[in-house]
Amino acid sequence: QVQLVESGGGLVQPGGSLRLSCAASGDALNSYAVGWFRQAPGKEREGVVCDGSGSSTVYYLNSAMGRFTVSRDGAKNTIYLQMNSLKPEDTAVYYCATRPYYCSGSETQYSSWGQGTQVIVSS
């Protein structure tokens, strides 16, 4: 079972950037797909983007395309979500989650979840 810890959230002005980290322990991430999800206040959790074990990226949120990118550091067993050109509507708690090998847009397919990190985009 993979354990995940997110970090890197915070308060940022509109147009700014943040890089979220998802550090894994208990197993190597290279055989897992890692999905990023977010939950805004009063809304359901939604998929943002997923990085498959073969480094194929799947975007579930259209507004993330062109602004958010994912990358992995195998040595650190960590995956990153780089978020640029942030907007107030990006305010949410962001979660990373894993499932074996392939991405899925359904959060029920992910078995391990981090605790989440808060992102607030506000001037």
DSSP letter for 65, please: T
Whole-number pLDDT of residue 6? 96
Q: Is the pLDDT of residue 54 over 90?
A: no
DSSP letter for 101, please: S
Whole-angstrom Cα distance, residue 31 to residue 11? 33
The stretch 68-82 carries a mean pLDDT of: 96
Whole-number pLDDT of residue 5? 97
Whole-angstrom Cα distance, residue 73 to residue 7? 15
Q: Is the pLDDT of residue 46 over 90?
A: yes
Q: Is the pLDDT of residue 55 over 80?
A: no
- Provide the pLDDT confidence category of residue 52 given band limits of 50, 70 and 90: very high
